Amino acid sequence: MTPVFALVDCNNFYVSCERLFNPSLKNSPIIVLSNNDGCVIARSQEAKDFGIEMAVPAFKIKHLIKQHNIRVYSSNYALYGDISSRVMATLESMAPQIEIYSIDEAFLNLTGFSSLGSLEDYGQKIRQTIGQHVGVPACVGLAPTKTLAKLANHAAKKYAATEGVVDLTNPERQRKLMSITSVDEVWGVGRKNAEKLDQLGIKTVLQLAQMNKARAKSHFSISMVKTIEELNGLVRFALDESPAAKKQLMCSRSFSERITAYDPLREAVCEFAARAAERLRNGGQVCGAVNVFIRTGICDENERCYSNTATGKLSSPSSDTRTILKVATDLFDSIWKEGYRYAKAGVMLGDFCDPNKVQLDLFAEPSTQINDEGLMSVIDKINQGGRGKVWFGGQRPQEDWFMKRAHLSPAYTTRWDDLPNVN
Ligand SMILES: [Mg+2]
């Protein structure tokens, strides 16, 4: 039986969450800002139409915000996380298997569903059900591989005539869409590879699909060969498999107020380390190196500057929060200096590898942490469930103290005090 994957992706997700509890925002231009109200991370279509780019710093578009009366929101992750889990719960009821790919995206295995009726109709049903149960808009792409499903979803978003659903199971349609789509839209290709492909004369997705595999292998990694095969309808990425593993992972913040004391800065570093470790586990990887940095802001002549960074190796690769926390706090202690006003800190994990191919250190002490995988997966489940958090001693999980969130909407669905009132 030909496999069928669906990629369901919510439209302008953060903006749609904000609109959900504030219907007056419908059709008005909205943007959502990153932590500390720094950069634009989500835009409604109306805001896009006014030329507001993704990732632009908020202060650079002050005039546009004023001129077009654009509504500005601080990111409200309590709300987005909860709406996301409702979308995912709805999707789980509509497919035998799903892979939650990001906060607003999931792959569904719909193999065999075409014998029950048109796949396009089922895609519409998915959209309608999410609309009915949760209230946010989404697009659906259907295809025999995940890479093609991503492409189908891209088309469903881009072309209004599709009404939000593209069934790309037909090879003729696949070729047609691939011939008019730029190669940088392909899942896992990335900007750097797209530039390299461009230099090789490969500009459209169809050209990539027709690229000689040996040639691809000589210029790129094996992942590119798999991508080419996926574009030709061969499943190379099953559910829970992705084309490119990340090479490093960074978690850092600028503080809304300078930090001068040891304890709060150490807590911040622990928090970043714990979050990075969680993201590492989500990607199914382990890391071999941890880097910690702390720095003061831009200093005038009255203020002393200090910036330092330290990197440590793990005795054997791990994704255990406790191991990573221990290394991160030791590194922090080695660079901490009293008497400065710190503006930013961060933790970066690197030296990634596949947990199944870990080389153990012959001379290292055997791990005393028993059943760490089980413990970590329980912690991740609790923390990602949206109902509460558990954390390690060094962390300080309230994020509000280092974030500026001047335009935050209420946590409508997760805090009793914030429940919307109906008169
Ligand atoms: Mg989306």
Write down the pLDDT at residue 401: 47
Candidate from 155-169, 272-286, 382-396 with smallest mean pLDDT: 382-396
β-sheet with 307-318: strand ranges across: 249-259, 342-353, 286-296, 307-318
207 and 83 share one domain: no
Q: How far is the CA of 256 from the centre of ligand 1 (A)?
A: 28
Q: What would the mean pLDDT of 371-396 be, rounded to a whole number?
A: 73
Q: How far is the CA of 103 from the centre of ligand 1 (A)?
A: 8
48 and 129 share one domain: yes
Q: How far is the CA of 152 from the centre of ligand 1 (A)?
A: 14
Q: Mean pLDDT across the chain, nearest whole number? A: 87
Q: Tokens 């002490």, residue?
A: 365
Write down the pLDDT at residue 89: 84
Does any domain span residue 158? no
269 close to 402: Cβ distance less than 8 angstroms: no
295 and 387 share one domain: yes
Q: How far is the CA of 209 from the centre of ligand 1 (A)?
A: 25
Q: List all residues 6 or more positions away from 355 whose beta carbon is below 8 Å from its beta carbon.
A: 284, 285, 286, 317, 319
Q: How far is the CA of 81 from the centre of ligand 1 (A)?
A: 13
Q: What would the mean pLDDT of 378-401 be, rounded to a whole number?
A: 68
Q: Residue 339's domain is classified under what CATH number?
A: 3.30.1490.100
Write down the pLDDT at residue 291: 87
Distances 333 to 34, 203, 305 between C-alpha atoms, Å: 29, 50, 18
60 and 185 share one domain: no
If one compares 303 and 346, the residue with the highest pLDDT of the two is 346
* The pair of three-digit structure tokens given for residue 402, joined into one six-digit string: 């280092």
Q: How far is the CA of 418 from the centre of ligand 1 (A)?
A: 26
Q: Calculate ∠ Cα 91-95-100, nearest 5°.
A: 50
**Does the pLDDT of residue 298 top 90, yes or no?**
no
Does any domain span residue 153? no
Q: How far is the CA of 139 from the centre of ligand 1 (A)?
A: 9
261 and 388 share one domain: yes
Q: How far is the CA of 404 from the centre of ligand 1 (A)?
A: 25
If one compares 370 and 199, the residue with the highest pLDDT of the two is 199
Q: How far is the CA of 9 from the centre of ligand 1 (A)?
A: 5
Q: At what angle do helices 321-335 and 262-282 cross, to 10 degrees?
A: 140
Q: How far apart are CA 316 and CA 324, in angstroms?
A: 11
Of 30-44, 204-218, 342-356, which has the strongest mean pLDDT?
204-218
Q: How far is the CA of 10 from the centre of ligand 1 (A)?
A: 4
Does any domain span residue 397? no
Q: How far apart are CA 339 and CA 341, in angstroms?
A: 7
* The pair of three-digit structure tokens given for residue 164, joined into one six-digit string: 């939000």
Domain edge (last residue) among 244, 260, 289: 244
Q: How far is the CA of 333 from the centre of ligand 1 (A)?
A: 40
Does any domain span residue 1? no
Nearest CA-CA partner of 343 in 372, 291, 397, 303: 303
Task: Tell me whether residue 106 is exposed, middle or buried, using C-beta atoms within 10 angstroms of its C-beta: 0 to 12, 13 to 18, 19 or more.
Answer: buried
What amino acid occupies position 327?
Answer: V
Percent of the chain predicted with pLDDT > 70: 91
Confidence band (pLDDT; 50, 70, 90) for 88?
A: confident
Does any domain span residue 183? yes
Candidate from 222-231, 255-264, 336-345, 367-376 with smallest mean pLDDT: 367-376
**Does the pLDDT of residue 404 top 70, yes or no?**
no
Domain that holds residue 138: 6-145+405-423
Using H for helix, E for strand and C for coil, what is the string for the chain?
Answer: CCCCEEEEEECCHHHHHHHHCCHHHCCCCEEEECHHHCEEEEECHHHHHCCCCCCCEHHHHHHHHHHCCCEEEECCHHHHHHHHHHHHHHHHCCCCEEEEEECCEEEEECCCHHHHCCHHHHHHHHHHHHHHHCCCCEEEEEECCHHHHHHHHHHHHHCHHHCCEEECCCHHHHHHHHHCCEHHHCCCCHHHHHHHHHHCCCCEHHHHHCCCHHHHHHHCCHHHHHHHHHHCCCCCCCCCCCCCCCCCEEEEEEEEEEECCHHHHHHHHHHHHHHHHHHHHHCCCEEEEEEEEEEECCCCCCCCCCEEEEEEEEEEEECCHHHHHHHHHHHHHHHCCCCCCEEEEEEEEEEEECHHHCCCCCCCCCCCCCCHHHHHHHHHHHHHCCCCCCCCCCCCCCCHHHCCCCCCCCCCCCCHHHCCCCC
Q: What would the mean pLDDT of 89-117 be, rounded to a whole number?
A: 89
Q: How far is the CA of 136 from the centre of ligand 1 (A)?
A: 11
**Does the pLDDT of residue 398 top 70, yes or no?**
no
Domain edge (last residue) among 244, 272, 288: 244
**Does the pLDDT of residue 243 top 60, yes or no?**
yes
Q: How far is the CA of 47 from the centre of ligand 1 (A)?
A: 16
37 and 79 share one domain: yes
Does any domain span residue 372? yes
229 and 253 share one domain: no
Confidence band (pLDDT; 50, 70, 90) for 368?
A: very low
345 and 416 share one domain: no
Q: How far is the CA of 16 from the centre of ligand 1 (A)?
A: 10
Write down the pLDDT at residue 142: 98
Domain edge (last residue) among 201, 224, 244: 244
Four-residue CA torsion sign, 42, 386, 394, 368? negative
Q: Tokens 């569903």, residue?
A: 113
257 and 384 share one domain: yes
Does any domain span residue 151? no
Does any domain span residue 159? no
Q: How far is the CA of 141 from the centre of ligand 1 (A)?
A: 12
202 and 323 share one domain: no
Q: Residue 106's domain is classified under what CATH number?
A: 3.30.70.270
CB contact burial 292-330 (16+ within 10 A = b; e otherwise): bbbbbbeeeeeeeebeeebeeebebbbbbbebbbbbbbe
Q: List all residues 6 or more positions away from 190 whose beta carbon is below 8 Å from its beta carbon.
A: 184, 244
Domain count, the chain: 3
Write down the pLDDT at residue 6: 98
pTM: 0.67
286 and 372 share one domain: yes
Candidate from 16-20, 212-216, 296-300 with smallest mean pLDDT: 296-300
Q: Residue 203's domain is classified under what CATH number?
A: 1.10.150.20
Convert the pLDDT of each residue in 123-169 to its tens digit: 999 999 999 999 999 999 999 999 999 999 999 999 999 999 999 99
121 and 35 share one domain: yes
